[in-house]
Amino acid sequence: MTEEDYKNGQVLLIDKPLTWTSFQVVNKLRWEIKQQFNLKKIKVGHAGTLDPLATGLLIICTGKQTKQINTYQGQIKEYTGTFTTGATTPSYDLETEVDKTYPTAHISESLLKETTQQFIGEIQQKPPIFSAIKKDGKRLYELARKGETTEIKTRAVTISEFEITKTHLPKVDFRVVCSKGTYIRSLAFDFGNALKSGAHLSALRRTKIGDFSVDNALSVEEFIQQLKDN
Protein backbone atom coordinates (compact mmCIF):
# COMPACT_ATOMS: atom_id res chain seq x y z
CA MET A 1 0.00 0.00 0.00
CA THR A 2 1.10 3.55 -0.69
CA GLU A 3 1.34 6.64 1.50
CA GLU A 4 -1.88 7.88 -0.13
CA ASP A 5 -3.66 4.63 0.75
CA TYR A 6 -2.91 5.12 4.44
CA LYS A 7 -3.90 8.81 4.33
CA ASN A 8 -7.14 8.12 2.46
CA GLY A 9 -7.94 5.52 5.07
CA GLN A 10 -7.27 1.87 5.78
CA VAL A 11 -8.92 -0.63 8.11
CA LEU A 12 -6.19 -2.85 9.56
CA LEU A 13 -6.98 -6.07 11.43
CA ILE A 14 -4.34 -6.72 14.09
CA ASP A 15 -4.05 -9.64 16.52
CA LYS A 16 -3.08 -7.83 19.74
CA PRO A 17 -0.25 -9.50 21.63
CA LEU A 18 -0.54 -10.42 25.30
CA THR A 19 0.56 -7.67 27.77
CA TRP A 20 0.43 -4.90 25.15
CA THR A 21 -2.11 -2.12 25.67
CA SER A 22 -4.31 -1.23 22.69
CA PHE A 23 -2.68 2.22 22.79
CA GLN A 24 0.80 0.65 22.44
CA VAL A 25 -0.34 -1.17 19.28
CA VAL A 26 -1.68 2.10 17.79
CA ASN A 27 1.56 3.93 18.68
CA LYS A 28 3.74 1.20 17.18
CA LEU A 29 1.80 1.08 13.90
CA ARG A 30 1.68 4.88 13.62
CA TRP A 31 5.46 5.08 14.16
CA GLU A 32 6.15 2.35 11.57
CA ILE A 33 3.89 4.01 8.94
CA LYS A 34 5.52 7.41 9.57
CA GLN A 35 9.00 5.87 9.26
CA GLN A 36 8.14 3.96 6.09
CA PHE A 37 6.81 7.02 4.23
CA ASN A 38 8.84 9.71 6.04
CA LEU A 39 5.66 11.37 7.32
CA LYS A 40 5.48 14.04 10.03
CA LYS A 41 2.03 12.86 11.12
CA ILE A 42 -0.79 10.50 10.24
CA LYS A 43 -4.01 9.74 12.09
CA VAL A 44 -4.21 6.22 13.54
CA GLY A 45 -6.77 4.97 16.07
CA HIS A 46 -8.37 1.76 17.34
CA ALA A 47 -12.04 0.80 17.44
CA GLY A 48 -12.43 -0.71 20.91
CA THR A 49 -9.93 -1.30 23.70
CA LEU A 50 -8.65 -4.72 24.72
CA ASP A 51 -7.17 -5.13 28.20
CA PRO A 52 -3.41 -5.80 28.33
CA LEU A 53 -4.08 -9.38 29.53
CA ALA A 54 -6.33 -10.08 26.52
CA THR A 55 -5.30 -11.00 22.98
CA GLY A 56 -7.14 -10.94 19.70
CA LEU A 57 -8.82 -8.68 17.22
CA LEU A 58 -8.11 -4.97 17.21
CA ILE A 59 -9.52 -2.89 14.37
CA ILE A 60 -7.02 -0.13 13.60
CA CYS A 61 -8.11 2.75 11.35
CA THR A 62 -5.78 5.14 9.53
CA GLY A 63 -6.28 8.53 7.87
CA LYS A 64 -9.86 9.33 6.87
CA GLN A 65 -11.09 5.94 8.13
CA THR A 66 -10.59 7.16 11.72
CA LYS A 67 -13.94 8.96 11.26
CA GLN A 68 -15.59 5.50 11.09
CA ILE A 69 -14.21 4.30 14.45
CA ASN A 70 -17.54 4.74 16.27
CA THR A 71 -19.28 2.58 13.64
CA TYR A 72 -16.87 -0.31 14.25
CA GLN A 73 -16.97 0.17 18.04
CA GLY A 74 -20.74 -0.29 18.06
CA GLN A 75 -20.67 -3.71 16.39
CA ILE A 76 -21.35 -7.02 18.10
CA LYS A 77 -18.27 -8.79 19.47
CA GLU A 78 -17.31 -12.40 20.08
CA TYR A 79 -14.88 -13.55 22.76
CA THR A 80 -13.43 -16.85 23.89
CA GLY A 81 -11.55 -17.41 27.11
CA THR A 82 -11.31 -19.03 30.51
CA PHE A 83 -12.93 -18.40 33.88
CA THR A 84 -11.12 -19.78 36.92
CA THR A 85 -13.71 -20.73 39.53
CA GLY A 86 -13.14 -20.98 43.28
CA ALA A 87 -11.45 -17.59 43.65
CA THR A 88 -12.08 -13.88 43.07
CA THR A 89 -9.71 -10.95 42.53
CA PRO A 90 -10.37 -7.20 42.99
CA SER A 91 -9.82 -6.55 39.26
CA TYR A 92 -11.90 -9.62 38.26
CA ASP A 93 -8.87 -10.90 36.29
CA LEU A 94 -5.17 -11.73 36.81
CA GLU A 95 -4.05 -8.10 37.15
CA THR A 96 -4.51 -8.40 40.93
CA GLU A 97 -3.99 -11.19 43.46
CA VAL A 98 -6.72 -13.55 44.71
CA ASP A 99 -8.60 -11.96 47.62
CA LYS A 100 -11.17 -14.70 48.46
CA THR A 101 -11.52 -18.42 47.82
CA TYR A 102 -14.65 -20.56 47.57
CA PRO A 103 -15.62 -24.24 47.28
CA THR A 104 -16.01 -25.75 43.78
CA ALA A 105 -16.98 -29.37 44.56
CA HIS A 106 -20.65 -28.63 43.81
CA ILE A 107 -19.98 -27.44 40.23
CA SER A 108 -21.33 -29.80 37.57
CA GLU A 109 -21.73 -29.57 33.79
CA SER A 110 -25.49 -29.14 34.23
CA LEU A 111 -25.05 -26.34 36.81
CA LEU A 112 -22.67 -24.51 34.47
CA LYS A 113 -25.10 -24.80 31.57
CA GLU A 114 -28.08 -23.70 33.68
CA THR A 115 -26.13 -20.72 35.04
CA THR A 116 -25.18 -19.44 31.57
CA GLN A 117 -28.92 -19.11 30.81
CA GLN A 118 -29.26 -16.43 33.53
CA PHE A 119 -26.99 -14.12 31.51
CA ILE A 120 -28.50 -14.43 28.03
CA GLY A 121 -30.46 -11.41 26.82
CA GLU A 122 -30.32 -7.86 28.16
CA ILE A 123 -28.70 -7.80 31.60
CA GLN A 124 -27.57 -5.15 34.05
CA GLN A 125 -23.81 -5.19 34.53
CA LYS A 126 -21.52 -3.21 36.80
CA PRO A 127 -18.13 -2.40 35.20
CA PRO A 128 -15.04 -3.36 37.24
CA ILE A 129 -13.43 -0.71 39.47
CA PHE A 130 -10.22 -1.58 37.58
CA SER A 131 -11.42 -0.11 34.27
CA ALA A 132 -10.70 2.89 32.06
CA ILE A 133 -14.16 4.42 32.57
CA LYS A 134 -13.93 8.02 33.76
CA LYS A 135 -15.67 9.34 36.86
CA ASP A 136 -15.22 12.98 37.90
CA GLY A 137 -12.41 13.30 35.35
CA LYS A 138 -10.39 10.35 36.70
CA ARG A 139 -10.13 6.84 35.32
CA LEU A 140 -11.56 4.26 37.72
CA TYR A 141 -8.37 2.17 37.73
CA GLU A 142 -6.45 5.21 39.04
CA LEU A 143 -8.78 5.29 42.06
CA ALA A 144 -8.65 1.50 42.45
CA ARG A 145 -4.84 1.42 42.52
CA LYS A 146 -4.85 4.00 45.31
CA GLY A 147 -7.25 1.78 47.27
CA GLU A 148 -10.12 4.24 46.89
CA THR A 149 -13.66 3.02 46.35
CA THR A 150 -16.44 4.72 44.44
CA GLU A 151 -20.02 3.92 43.49
CA ILE A 152 -20.22 2.53 39.95
CA LYS A 153 -23.53 2.56 38.15
CA THR A 154 -24.81 -0.57 36.44
CA ARG A 155 -25.38 -0.45 32.69
CA ALA A 156 -27.56 -2.46 30.34
CA VAL A 157 -25.67 -4.78 27.99
CA THR A 158 -26.88 -7.60 25.75
CA ILE A 159 -25.43 -11.11 25.65
CA SER A 160 -26.81 -12.99 22.66
CA GLU A 161 -24.78 -16.19 23.07
CA PHE A 162 -22.98 -17.65 26.09
CA GLU A 163 -21.73 -21.22 26.07
CA ILE A 164 -19.32 -23.33 28.08
CA THR A 165 -16.97 -24.99 25.58
CA LYS A 166 -14.78 -27.04 27.94
CA THR A 167 -14.71 -27.80 31.66
CA HIS A 168 -11.42 -28.62 33.39
CA LEU A 169 -12.19 -27.44 36.93
CA PRO A 170 -11.37 -25.06 38.44
CA LYS A 171 -11.07 -23.70 34.88
CA VAL A 172 -14.05 -23.29 32.58
CA ASP A 173 -13.64 -22.31 28.90
CA PHE A 174 -16.38 -20.19 27.30
CA ARG A 175 -17.55 -18.37 24.18
CA VAL A 176 -19.60 -15.18 24.40
CA VAL A 177 -21.28 -12.98 21.78
CA CYS A 178 -22.19 -9.58 23.22
CA SER A 179 -22.96 -5.92 22.65
CA LYS A 180 -20.65 -2.93 22.90
CA GLY A 181 -19.80 -2.02 26.49
CA THR A 182 -19.87 -5.57 27.87
CA TYR A 183 -17.10 -6.32 30.37
CA ILE A 184 -16.16 -10.01 30.20
CA ARG A 185 -14.34 -9.55 33.54
CA SER A 186 -17.61 -8.46 35.13
CA LEU A 187 -19.35 -11.43 33.51
CA ALA A 188 -16.73 -13.71 35.10
CA PHE A 189 -17.35 -12.15 38.52
CA ASP A 190 -21.15 -12.30 38.21
CA PHE A 191 -21.04 -15.84 36.82
CA GLY A 192 -18.94 -16.93 39.81
CA ASN A 193 -21.45 -15.33 42.18
CA ALA A 194 -24.33 -17.14 40.47
CA LEU A 195 -22.41 -20.44 40.75
CA LYS A 196 -21.77 -19.70 44.46
CA SER A 197 -18.11 -20.49 43.79
CA GLY A 198 -16.57 -17.15 42.86
CA ALA A 199 -14.66 -16.76 39.58
CA HIS A 200 -12.24 -14.50 37.79
CA LEU A 201 -11.16 -14.11 34.17
CA SER A 202 -7.89 -15.93 33.54
CA ALA A 203 -7.70 -15.78 29.72
CA LEU A 204 -9.49 -13.72 27.07
CA ARG A 205 -9.34 -13.52 23.29
CA ARG A 206 -11.50 -11.34 21.06
CA THR A 207 -12.32 -13.40 17.99
CA LYS A 208 -14.81 -11.22 16.07
CA ILE A 209 -16.05 -7.64 15.71
CA GLY A 210 -19.09 -7.52 13.43
CA ASP A 211 -18.08 -9.32 10.22
CA PHE A 212 -14.34 -8.99 10.96
CA SER A 213 -12.55 -12.09 12.29
CA VAL A 214 -9.23 -12.53 14.05
CA ASP A 215 -8.56 -15.33 11.52
CA ASN A 216 -7.87 -12.57 8.99
CA ALA A 217 -5.74 -10.44 11.35
CA LEU A 218 -1.99 -9.92 11.20
CA SER A 219 0.38 -9.93 14.14
CA VAL A 220 2.20 -6.63 14.75
CA GLU A 221 5.39 -8.20 13.30
CA GLU A 222 3.55 -9.46 10.19
CA PHE A 223 2.09 -6.01 9.58
CA ILE A 224 5.52 -4.36 9.86
CA GLN A 225 7.04 -6.91 7.48
CA GLN A 226 4.21 -6.39 4.97
CA LEU A 227 4.67 -2.60 5.26
CA LYS A 228 8.38 -2.89 4.49
CA ASP A 229 7.88 -5.36 1.64
CA ASN A 230 5.60 -2.99 -0.29
Active-site residue flag, 190: no
* Beta carbons of 65 and 11 less than 8 angstroms apart: yes
Question: Among 194, 158, 196, which Cα is nearest to 176's?
Answer: 158
Q: Strands, E, within 47-194: which ranges?
A: 54-62, 77-85, 87-88, 100-101, 121-125, 134-135, 138-139, 155-168, 171-178
* Beta carbons of 130 and 146 less than 8 angstroms apart: no
Q: How far is CA 90 from the centre of its chain?
A: 17
Which of the residues 51, 93, 99, 211 is marked catalytic? 51
Supply the residues annotated as catalytic. Answer: 51
